[in-house]
């Protein structure tokens, strides 16, 4: 997708999403309190770090050893809905306008996580990280890291405006209907990886 088209879509999405974002802020303040936002350094295109912002949807509750509790135990029913509808991701529209993220692409990961992937991480980072992506509409939390990486690499190699619009359309459906594991897409990505001439140089962590 061209940058001008992405910019226009981002502005329109921001206008549409603003009321939902404000409602989300009120809900988070009432159920989790301050701070309203979560921020963390992530790896951008080419591994260049940037600061990611999102609406906070989990508490900092810890067990007796000081370790954070599982995600499910740190959410409220309201914040879980906000995560499912991806209202917490709305602040990232500003990062897209700044050119640090894209509407569609592999989700931004921690720099050390990307570095640990080696060549696979480098190839994954050839494009800007996205607000949504191929892995997010193909199973997301129902996938393991290996499967997500295969889908991300497949997307980088096959990206197009048509595919981006398809992913954007499916993102809305996924938010409403829930995440479903797409075995057909996993099989296609795995088959492509075995046929890719560069595959011997890519070590995808399990």
The pLDDT tens digits for 97-125 are 999 999 999 999 999 999 988 888 999 99
Instruction: Give pLDDT, residue 206.
Output: 45
Helices 3-31 and 77-84: angle between axes, nearest 10 degrees: 170
105 domain-assigned: yes
What residue numbers bound the domain in which 35 lies?
Answer: 3-201
- Looking at every residue in the chain, the average pLDDT score rounds to 88
pLDDT grade for 199, boundaries at 50, 70 and 90: low
Measured in whole angstroms, the distance separating CA 99 from the mean position of its chain's CA atoms is 16
| pLDDT average, residue stretch 175-183 | 87
Predicted local confidence at residue 197, as pLDDT: 58
Q: What is the pLDDT of residues 61-87, one digit of tens each?
A: 777 777 777 777 777 888 888 888 889
Residue 117 forms part of a structural domain: yes
How many whole angstroms separate alpha carbon 76 and alpha carbon 49?
31
Whether 170 is in a domain gets the answer yes
Would residue 34 count as lying in a domain? yes
For residue 206, being part of any structural domain is answered with: no
**Total count of domains within the chain:** 1
């Amino acid at each position: 997708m061209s940058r001008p088209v992405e910019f226009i879509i981002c502005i329109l999405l921001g206008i549409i999403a603003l009321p939902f974002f404000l409602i989300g802020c009120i809900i988070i303040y009432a159920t989790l309190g301050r701070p309203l936002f979560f921020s963390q350094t992530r790896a951008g295109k080419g591994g260049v770090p940037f600061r990611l912002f999102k609406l906070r949807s989990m508490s900092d509750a810890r067990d007796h050893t000081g370790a954070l509790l599982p995600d499910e135990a740190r959410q409220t029913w309201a914040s879980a809905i906000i995560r499912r509808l991806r209202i917490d991701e709305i602040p990232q529209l500003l990062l897209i306008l700044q050119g640090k993220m894209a509407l569609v692409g592999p989700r931004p990961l921690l720099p050390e996580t990307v570095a640990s992937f080696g060549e696979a991480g480098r190839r994954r980072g050839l494009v800007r990280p996205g607000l949504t992506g191929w892995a997010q509409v193909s199973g997301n939390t129902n996938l393991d890291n290996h499967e997500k990486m295969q889908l991300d690499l497949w997307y980088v190699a096959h990206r197009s405006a048509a595919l981006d619009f398809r992913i954007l359309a499916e993102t809305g459906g996924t938010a409403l209907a829930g995440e479903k594991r797409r075995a057909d897409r996993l099989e296609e990505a795995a088959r492509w990886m075995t046929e890719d001439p560069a595959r011997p140089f890519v070590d995808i962590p399990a």
